[in-house]
């Protein structure tokens, strides 16, 4: 009988450049992983890798088993998920993806409501831009994603539910030279560095249009998906932080930044809940999704 652990180890070595990198990803020592692969080869009576110095090159059989192993683990995951459906909220795992706006927007309140009530459910959160989260969702590494859905629109395998929309605003330190101007002219604002997080394609198109129309730069001097880093920079410099109003007002309430309307009207931010069509999720995942929509 094939040990699923050996299959996972085979796939890890096949997907990393070195055995050490695969061992690190599996939280194993390099000798332990090498021994596991050797045992697997002994069990099936054939080589899976050709050794070339420190590198392991898949044999033809190894390539076949990697392909079959990916399907096998996917089916095992589906079986485990089906079992979890019957367990209810007592135990289980939920993996979600969030973009920077969701991470500092609704996520903290959702976790505050869910985690104390369901301590047996293990939640993992992956942060990133929608483009980086979608492959993980489609590959069933994530149960759902809360992010801007523009790049996911029109995908046949996804369901998208809009959650909240809001305007972009500017945030700057309270003693910034523009802090007393309610809506600074774009020409004056353009004299200072703009900083912000990764954005959806519609913002990039709008930025290009505004740059052509006004002859002043709109592109950010710094793009960073960690708003705390951006806020600290805005606090300590003349940089203007551009971001969702519902997120940046939190820094204003804390007395760290002052929020002003963005000098020109731009696209609204739009958080959405994105999930795979036809995929049955556990009650824990469904409950967590409902909290984002509350």
Q: DSSP string covering 36-47, please?
A: HHHHHHHHHTS-
Q: Which helix (H) or strand (E) holds 169?
A: strand 168-172
15 band by pLDDT with thresholds 50, 70 and 90:
confident
Q: Check: CATH 3.40.190.10 for 92-164+271-293?
A: yes
Residue spans per domain, the chain = 4-85, 92-164+271-293, 168-267
Q: Is the pLDDT of residue 34 over 90?
A: no
111 band by pLDDT with thresholds 50, 70 and 90:
very high
Q: Which of 41-55, 213-227, 275-289 has the highest mean pLDDT?
A: 275-289
CB within 8 Å of 216: residues ≥ 6 apart: 186, 187, 190, 210
Q: Is the pLDDT of residue 278 over 80?
A: yes
| Residue range 90-111: mean pLDDT, rounded | 90
- Out of 75-89, 112-126, 156-170, pick the least confident: 75-89
> Which residues are paired to 122 by β-bridges?
93
| pLDDT for position 217 | 59
| pLDDT for position 101 | 92
| pLDDT for position 91 | 65
142 band by pLDDT with thresholds 50, 70 and 90:
very high
Cα dihedral 236→239→244→248 (10° resolution): 20
| Residue range 227-234: mean pLDDT, rounded | 95
| pLDDT for position 183 | 78
| pLDDT for position 234 | 96
| pLDDT for position 18 | 79
123 band by pLDDT with thresholds 50, 70 and 90:
very high
Q: Write out the two tokens for 20.
A: 């050490």
User: How many Å apart are CA 290 and CA 91, to the nearest integer?
Assistant: 18
Q: Is the pLDDT of residue 288 over 90?
A: yes
CB within 8 Å of 229: residues ≥ 6 apart: none
134 band by pLDDT with thresholds 50, 70 and 90:
very high
| pLDDT for position 214 | 65
Q: pLDDT per residue over 196-215, tens digit each?
A: 988 888 888 887 777 777 66
Q: Look-up: residue for tokens 């993980």?
A: 136
The dotted CATH code for 168-267 is 3.40.190.10
- Out of 18-27, 49-58, 220-229, pick the least confident: 49-58
* Residue (of 181, 187, 171) closest to 241 by Cα position: 171
| pLDDT for position 90 | 62
- Out of 93-107, 110-124, 151-165, 199-213, pick the least confident: 199-213
| pLDDT for position 97 | 97
* Per-chain mean pLDDT for the chain: 86
- Asked, colleague to colleague, whether 4-85 and 168-267 share their fold, the answer is no
> pTM above 0.75?
no
| pLDDT for position 263 | 64
Q: Check: CATH 1.10.10.10 for 4-85?
A: yes
Decide which of 96 and 36 is more confident: 96
């Amino acid at each position: 009988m094939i040990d699923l652990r050996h299959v996972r180890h085979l796939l890890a070595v096949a997907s990393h450049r070195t055995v050490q990198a695969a061992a690190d990803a599996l939280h194993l020592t390099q000798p332990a992983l090498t021994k596991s692969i050797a045992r697997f080869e002994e069990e099936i009576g054939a080589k899976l890798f050709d050794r070339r110095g420190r590198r392991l090159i898949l044999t033809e059989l190894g390539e076949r088993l990697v392909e079959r192993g990916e399907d096998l683990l996917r089916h095992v995951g589906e079986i485990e998920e089906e079992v979890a459906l019957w367990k209810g909220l007592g135990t289980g795992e939920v993996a979600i993806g969030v973009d920077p706006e969701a991470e500092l927007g609704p996520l903290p309140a959702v976790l505050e409501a869910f985690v104390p009530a369901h301590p047996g459910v293990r939640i993992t959160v992956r942060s990133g831009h929608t483009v980086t989260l979608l492959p993980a969702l489609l590959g069933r590494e994530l149960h759902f994603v809360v992010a801007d859905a523009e790049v996911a629109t029109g995908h046949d395998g996804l369901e998208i539910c809009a959650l909240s929309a809001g305007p972009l605003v500017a945030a700057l330190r309270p003693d910034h030279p523009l802090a007393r101007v309610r809506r600074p002219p774009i020409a004056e604002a353009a004299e200072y560095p703009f900083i912000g997080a990764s954005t959806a394609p519609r913002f990039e198109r709008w930025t290009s249009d505004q740059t052509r129309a006004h002859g002043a730069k709109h592109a950010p001097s710094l793009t960073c998906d960690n708003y705390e880093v951006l806020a600290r920079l805005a606090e300590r410099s003349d940089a203007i932080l551009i971001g969702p109003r519902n997120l940046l007002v939190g820094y204003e309430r804390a007395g760290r930044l002052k929020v002003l309307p963005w000098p020109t009207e731009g696209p609204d931010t739009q958080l959405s809940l994105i999930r795979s069509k036809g995929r049955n999720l556990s009650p824990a995942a469904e409950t967590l999704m409902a909290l984002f929509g509350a």
